[in-house]
Amino acid sequence: MRETTARYGCPTGPLAVELGRRTGSGLDLALTLVGAYRGMSLLSNALRDPEIMTR
């Protein structure tokens, strides 16, 4: 993951730019998706359980 991030940058940045272009239900769905992913990442790290990312 470090190599990919170093080469292509953080995937959250371009996604945030795209979200800024959305309105209505598309924006709501995108925010739900990003929020869920970030929550899974946080819990996976805090609990040291990578399986959380696959649930």
pLDDT tens digits for the chain (55 residues)? 667 767 777 777 787 788 778 778 888 888 888 889 889 888 988 998 988 888 7
Rounded CA gap, 20 and 17, in Å?
A: 5
Per the confidence metrics, is the pTM higher than 0.85?
no
Residue 44 CB partners (closer than 8 Å, separation 6+): 50, 51, 52, 53
pLDDT at 7: 79
pLDDT at 2: 67
pLDDT at 33: 86
Would you give the distance in Å from CA 2 to the centre of its chain?
16
pLDDT at 17: 81
**Measured between alpha carbons, how far apart are the two ends of the chain, in Å?**
20
Rounded CA gap, 9 and 46, in Å?
A: 24
Residue 38: count of CB within 10 angstroms of its CB: 11
